[in-house]
Amino acid sequence: MAIQLQEFAKQVLFGTTMEAKLSFPREEIIDTQPGSAIVTPRQLTRPKHLMLRDDGVRAKHPSQAKLVDEKERGKLLHFFGNHELLATELMALAILKFPDAPASFRRGLLETLKDEQIHTQLYMHRMQQCGIEFGELPLNDYFWKSVSSMEDPLDYVTRLSLTFEQANLDYSREYATVFETVGDDATAKILDKIYHDEIGHVGFGLKWFRRWKASGKTDWEVFRERLVFPLSPARAKGNDFNSQGRLDAGLAPEFISDLQIFQQSKGRTPSVLWFNPQAEQTAATNSTTHADSTLQDDLAYLPAYLSRQDDLLIMPALPAPDFLRQIQSYGFHLPEILLTQKKRAPIITRKLNDLRPWAWTPDSVDFFRQHLDTVTQPRPADSLWNDGIRELFSKSWSANWASKFADDSPTDWLAPREVYGKPAANLDELLRLRAHYAALGYRNIVCKAPFGTAANGIRCLLEAEVITPPLQKWLDHIRTEQGTVLIEPWLERVFDFSVQCEQGDSELKPLAFTRLINNQRGQFGGIITNGFTKGLVPELTRFLMTRAESGRPRVFDTYENQIAPALATDLSAKQFEGPLGIDAFVYRDAHQQLRLKSIVEINPRTTMGRIAHELEHHNAAGAVGTFQIITRSQLKKSATSNFSEWARQLTQDHPVQLTSEPKPRIRSGSFPLTDPQQAKQFLAVYHVREHIDQLTSVLP
């Protein structure tokens, strides 16, 4: 005697026992009476102990480290078993919702449903052997909610076959390896069977997806269009991306490539990052107007290295897929990229954690204005930018603060007050300061724009040098735009570094000490990671690392226990919060003694040193890196004609070598950090070597 497919599907979907859910009839199943389409039930029918939780209560997913314990493995199998049971029920739902679908599609659904019943039974049996009963832990309803609202068969294959089942091509293989590693071969064999079954399930869905999708569009285009947030292609992959399994399922290489680099939040509330490097210039004019910048466009990807999983990065153009795949292959996660060509951030309808421009200045406040109130903990615009915060961007403020600190903390190894700059409002004041410093033994002086970067905001005036017309023109321009010019004595620099900090509500926390590569004029050349004192002469190492009373090296102790607490008070008074960098250097005084100028300038924003600090986390143990920005003028000195060719040659000459799994680190190699195909004037690169002396050839 035969049984109708419709009746069998109802038994599975509406069954109140596991026997009803998982038993497959011995009788022939026919499909001659498909019946009318049903409406998705408001609540899934199940045995009472297996009811889905819709109140947010979830079981804790065991970490891989805990899977050496058999009961913890049983808990993980409890998650897997629920997923397989849900897949069984969703396939029954699809049979009942779409009675007019092609008979061969419905027959394929039946065969796939049978596989899912077997998978559920395998997991149930194995979790019981591990000491866990099915239903012992809370069961989450996300899978059901994501798929059960399907409106047509194309929805079904897009959401279930090509999203959740495709993701299992990664998870089943990944966890099979994990279970093998802890000696659980029985579970590993179950996962291996499920992996091979999933290849067929994805292939089945793909066949119908291609038959039903709109003509003239690629698989990838339709796949993206059909998934509505919070579903996205990001749900179609796991942690260990498995290209071969997808090829075996019939997915096209182009689809696989696009999926591999696609990123979107899977549920975590993201932060939004944006690169606005003209902070000092914008602060100087105190205007929301920001001109287009080649530097901003070329290096727009840099905040990606500060991002966390699921964060958003706003850029003017998408980086090339080859570049993103390369970065991903080196162990970096990729943020979700949002495009904008406007002076305002794109509209984002999702809930946001926070907004993280490179710097909070008038342009970034204006850029993010429509989102200021939509973040988890909104801050009023006047706490992000005000006259007090603007003052922090001035080198004059830094010099004044540092000189007071020098008075309060006199010691023979820190720079005295006299080396910190003073403002000159006109030429007469400049000349008086020049004479003042000469009387103290400083023959040369440095003229600085209060709001300016080291590259374009400094002019040196040597002892015998007269003020030339070009220098006079520059001085006049700075005084007209910014009111004063900061005058400092020229010091014989021997070691540059920066301190990366984060200001919270009332505490300034030093995060890292990064070693700078600057020329004698203080112009940026690069940053060494994981090598603060490596390769230094013993005299300099002793100077920095002599122990303070706290037991910490005195250079660390000075910033952690003296500068940070004092500076935090003044930052809080100005309502400043966020990343901050302190530039400093060691110099030789007139008696050839080493001294620390503890504050050259305070940068109340993200810095390149913060990028370098994050890059350091990807170095192999003991390896040393150098972060650099290559300019068009430097490129002209090479034998290559463009950044793409130069970067290709760089990676060929110094291929990246990674440590072994499970979390690869960079042992050696060189590669671009920003897209060389889009670079016009600037390209960020990273070099990693096993020893610091091997970096000599790449340092400027």
Give tens-digit pLDDT for 159-193.
999 999 999 999 999 999 999 999 999 999 999 99
**Strands across the sheet with 657-658, in order?**
594-603, 578-588, 492-503, 508-518, 524-529, 624-631, 682-689, 666-672, 657-658
Q: Which two tokens stand for residue 501?
A: 């900090």
Domain 491-604 sits in CATH 3.40.50: no
Pick the CATH number of 3-24+69-261 from 3.40.190.10, 3.90.1150.10, 1.10.10.10, 1.20.1260.10: 1.20.1260.10
**Region 255-261: what's the mean pLDDT?**
94
The pLDDT-based confidence of 694 (bands split at 50, 70, 90) is confident
Q: Are 646 and 638 in contact, with CB atoms under 8 Å apart? A: yes
CA distances (Å), origin 442, targets 402, 412, 418, 589: 19, 18, 10, 9
Question: Is the model's pLDDT at 39 over the cut of 60?
Answer: yes
Question: Is the model's pLDDT at 529 over the cut of 50?
Answer: yes
Residues 6+ apart with CB under 8 A from 444: 460, 461, 462, 463, 489, 490
Question: Is the model's pLDDT at 539 over the cut of 60?
Answer: yes
**Secondary structure class of 297 (helix, strand, coil):** helix
Q: What pLDDT sits at residue 88?
A: 97
Residues 6+ apart with CB under 8 A from 10: 92, 96
Question: Is the model's pLDDT at 342 over the cut of 80?
Answer: no
Q: What is the mean pLDDT of the chain?
A: 92
Question: Is the model's pLDDT at 395 over the cut of 80?
Answer: yes
Q: Are 512 and 613 in contact, with CB atoms under 8 Å apart? A: yes
The pLDDT-based confidence of 505 (bands split at 50, 70, 90) is confident
Least Cα distance to 191 among 208, 209, 207, 179 occurs for 179
- Whole-angstrom distance, CA of residue 257 vs CA of residue 251: 10
Q: Are 173 and 189 in contact, with CB atoms under 8 Å apart? A: no
The β-bridge relationship of strands 458-461 and 445-448 is: antiparallel
- Lowest pLDDT segment from 286-290, 338-342, 362-366, 564-568: 286-290
Q: What pLDDT sits at residue 366?
A: 93
The β-bridge relationship of strands 29-30 and 3-4 is: parallel
Peptide bond between residue 230 and the one before it cis (omega within 30 degrees of 0): yes
User: Do the first three CATH levels of 3-24+69-261 and 491-604 match, i.e. the same topology?
Assistant: no
H or E element that contains 340: none
Q: What pLDDT sits at residue 45?
A: 93
Peptide bond between residue 565 and the one before it cis (omega within 30 degrees of 0): no
**Region 230-252: what's the mean pLDDT?**
93
Question: Is the model's pLDDT at 431 over the cut of 70?
Answer: yes
- Whole-angstrom distance, CA of residue 424 vs CA of residue 416: 20
Sign of the Cα pseudo-torsion (612, 613, 618, 624, in order): positive
Least Cα distance to 440 among 398, 389, 491, 494 occurs for 491
Residues 6+ apart with CB under 8 A from 634: none
Least Cα distance to 101 among 44, 151, 149, 160 occurs for 151
Q: Which two tokens stand for residue 3?
A: 């049984």
Q: Are 277 and 293 in contact, with CB atoms under 8 Å apart? A: yes
Residues 6+ apart with CB under 8 A from 602: 392, 397, 398, 401, 567, 580, 581, 582, 583
**pLDDT over 70 for what percent of the chain?**
97
Residues 6+ apart with CB under 8 A from 54: 141
Q: What pLDDT sits at residue 639?
A: 79
Residues 6+ apart with CB under 8 A from 488: 399, 419, 420, 421, 422, 445, 446, 448
Q: What pLDDT sits at residue 696?
A: 65
E strand intervals along 504-614: 508-518, 524-529, 578-588, 594-603
Phi and psi torsions of 48, nearest 5° = -55, -40
Q: Are 396 and 450 in contact, with CB atoms under 8 Å apart? A: yes
Tokens 């026992």 sit at which residue? 17
**Region 470-480: what's the mean pLDDT?**
91
Which of residues 634 and 205 earns the better pLDDT score? 205
586 forms beta bridges with 495, 596
The pLDDT-based confidence of 289 (bands split at 50, 70, 90) is confident
Q: What pLDDT sits at residue 624?
A: 94
Q: Which two tokens stand for residue 43?
A: 């609540």
Per domain, the residue ranges of the chain are 3-24+69-261, 272-391, 491-604, 608-700
Q: What pLDDT sits at residue 77?
A: 96
CA-derived radius of gyration, the chain: 31
- Lowest pLDDT segment from 4-18, 56-70, 121-135: 56-70
Sign of the Cα pseudo-torsion (129, 130, 136, 140, in order): negative
Phi and psi torsions of 410, nearest 5° = -70, 130
Q: Which two tokens stand for residue 230?
A: 């919070």
Question: Is the model's pLDDT at 689 over the cut of 70?
Answer: yes
Question: Is the model's pLDDT at 520 over the cut of 70?
Answer: no
H or E element that contains 353: none
Q: Which two tokens stand for residue 528?
A: 């060494």
Q: Are 15 and 21 in contact, with CB atoms under 8 Å apart? A: yes
**Region 18-25: what's the mean pLDDT?**
94
Q: Are 261 and 325 in contact, with CB atoms under 8 Å apart? A: yes
The pLDDT-based confidence of 700 (bands split at 50, 70, 90) is very low
CA atoms within 13 Å, Cβ hemisphere of 439: 7
E strand intervals along 358-450: 422-424, 445-448
Least Cα distance to 348 among 291, 277, 264, 288 occurs for 264
Q: Which residues of 608-621 are buried (b: 16+ CB within 10 A; e: fewer)?
A: bbbbbbbbbebbbe
Least Cα distance to 166 among 60, 81, 87, 73 occurs for 87
**Please, is 354 exposed, middle or buried when counting C-beta atoms within 10 Å of its C-beta (0-12, 13-18, 19+)?**
middle
The pLDDT-based confidence of 541 (bands split at 50, 70, 90) is very high
Least Cα distance to 576 among 603, 614, 608, 609 occurs for 603
